[in-house]
Amino acid sequence: MTENIKIVCTNKKAGQNYFLEERFEAGLVLVGTEVKSLRGGHANLNDSYALVKEDAVYLLNCHISPYEAGNRFNHEPLRTRKLLLHKQEISKLWGKTQTKGYSLIPTKIYFLKGRAKIEIALAKGKTKGDKRETIRRRELDREAARAMRSRR
């Protein structure tokens, strides 16, 4: 069973700056020019985050470039967008984000069966020491893989 997934953009810094614990798939409430711009791959998730407010989840600081042929009907690039989640997921996220150190970080935007989706992760920030440990572990894994390849 293959699903038609077209990834628009990913947040590469999310894995470097946060421990990603749980991931959720949410729909995006968009206007027409935003959808056309996303289909062209013009989005940026750097410095974006999600907040739970008034029984809804909102995406902030996600930059979707204006559509070239949108003229006066174009959207504001950094507007706040509503995310579509089930009530149980929203209440779970609200409870977890009230805990100190947890936040909601978007990891990727993609199209699934023609609908715009976003993957958000419940994340806890890394300290400088944690980041260094991750880099050191990655380097050790690369060296081990090189050694295994050279043995063959």
Does residue 68 sit within a domain?
A: yes
Does residue 148 sit within a domain?
A: no
Q: Reduced to 3 states, what is the DSSP secondary structure of residue 144?
A: helix
Express each pLDDT in 87-118 by its tens digit.
999 988 898 888 887 889 999 999 998 888 99
Does residue 139 sit within a domain?
A: no
Express each pLDDT in 60-92 by its tens digit.
998 888 887 777 778 788 888 899 999 999 988
Q: CA 15, CA 11: separation in Å to the nearest integer?
A: 8
Q: What pTM, to 2 d.p., does this model score?
A: 0.79
Does residue 114 sit within a domain?
A: yes
How many structural domains is the chain composed of?
1
Does residue 143 sit within a domain?
A: no
Residue 31: CATH number of its domain: 2.40.280.10
Closest CA to 105 of 43, 49, 30: 49
Does residue 141 sit within a domain?
A: no
Q: Print the domain residue range for 18.
A: 5-126
